[in-house]
Structure 1
Amino acid sequence: MWSVYFLLLRNGDIYVGSTNDLKRRFASHQAGEVLSTKAYIPAVLKSYVAVETEDHARELENYFKSGSGKAVAMKRLIRGRIPT
């Protein structure tokens, strides 16, 4: 299984990523081992979507990083007020 996940970063931004080991990947974010989130930890795992293949996970990740994908994610997957 692969996961597309959404992290709420300390600066209020949402980070979208994909992995085949969500627990390990989240721990690497929290440990400051991921360059793109390192300056904004701690992060909160807000939501994730599990899919069967890496290809599908990468497609969804790219979609959720697009304008319309961000809107769908905020409305349907992340929910709640994101601090600004």
Structure 2
Amino acid sequence: MYCVYILQSINHPEHFYVGLTTDLNRRLAQHNNGASIHTNKFKPWKVRTTVNFDDPAKAEDFEKYLKSGSGRAFCKKHF
């Protein structure tokens, strides 16, 4: 199972991060432990939304979309 996830910073709630993983608990722990330079500045993080896929290509496409301008607007409106 492939999970596209949206994280929200607990201390800076206006900051979000979109990612893709097969192990959400492990990946969230990595973000909160500072293992990712992209999310280290705004830790700790909480899971805001997850969407699961069986097809890795569809998961990658959805993650890419959410990181685009229109995808960010979609997130603000729907998540």
Please classify the TM superposition score into its range, dividing by the shorter chain length.
0.7 to 0.9
After the TM superposition, which segments of 4 or more aligned residues of structure 1 sit over 4 Å from their partners? none
Q: Whole-Å Cα distance in 2 between the matches of residues 7 and 27 of structure 1?
A: 12
Q: Whole-Å Cα distance in 2 between the matches of residues 35 and 58 of structure 1?
A: 21
Q: Whole-Å Cα distance in 2 between the matches of residues 55 and 23 of structure 1?
A: 22
Q: Whole-Å Cα distance in 2 between the matches of residues 43 and 15 of structure 1?
A: 9
1:59-78 per-position Cα deviation (integer Å, ceiling 9, x unaligned): 101100111111112211x2
Q: What TM-score comes out, normalization by structure 2 length?
A: 0.88
- Equivalent residue, structure 1, for 2:5: 5
Q: Whole-Å Cα distance in 2 between the matches of residues 34 and 54 of structure 1?
A: 22
Q: Whole-Å Cα distance in 2 between the matches of residues 67 and 34 of structure 1?
A: 23
Q: Whole-Å Cα distance in 2 between the matches of residues 23 and 53 of structure 1?
A: 20
Gaps of 5+ in 1: 79-84
CA-atom RMSD in angstroms: 1.1
Q: What TM-score comes out, normalization by structure 1 length?
A: 0.83
Match of 1:53, as an amino acid?
A: D
1:38-80 per-position Cα deviation (integer Å, ceiling 9, x unaligned): 111011211110111221111101100111111112211x2xx
% of aligned pairs identical? 36
Match of 1:7, as an amino acid?
A: L
Gaps of 5+ in 2: none
Q: Whole-Å Cα distance in 2 between the matches of residues 35 and 54 of structure 1?
A: 24
Q: How does 1:4-43 map to 2 (within 5 A)?
A: 4-9=4-9, 10-11=11-12, 12-43=14-45
